[in-house]
Amino acid sequence: MNEISIRVYYEDTDSGGVVYYANYLKFIERGRSEYLRDLGFEQDVLIAKYNTIFAVRRLNAQYHLPVKFNDLLTVQTLIKKVGRASLIFTQKIMHSGQNQVLFKAQVTVACLHADSFKPCGIPLMIKEKIDG
């Protein structure tokens, strides 16, 4: 599992000081990017060296409690399943230092050729790092 911290800025909120619903998706995107980075894979290098990108194919999100301006959050990211050409992530957002889930999502990402956007198998080196 990977965890990152995110501070909620004014720009993330609506006029009531509550995080705009679409911004939760930005927060979990950062979580998935950092997960790959922690495995040693920079997304720009995956494109340049391996012609590989990951694109969201499916998302199931549940909003439990509001997140507000200046909250410090923890985004937890875990790979639930590795397929031939896809990864399924489970992700949670919580207040830092607390165990109460504010938001959770299951995200399926497809592995694609960067130049054609056609599906391809996940490169072996990525699968090995995930499994290892």
Q: Which letter does DSSP use for residue 71 in this model?
A: -
| Listed residue (69, 61, 74) closest to 104, CA to CA | 61
In the set 12, 14, 44, 71, the catalytic residue is 14
Asked if 44 is an active-site residue, the reply is: no
User: How far is Cα 53 from Cα 61, in angstroms, rounded to an integer?
Assistant: 22
Secondary structure letter of residue 12 according to DSSP: G
Residues acting as catalytic residues: 14
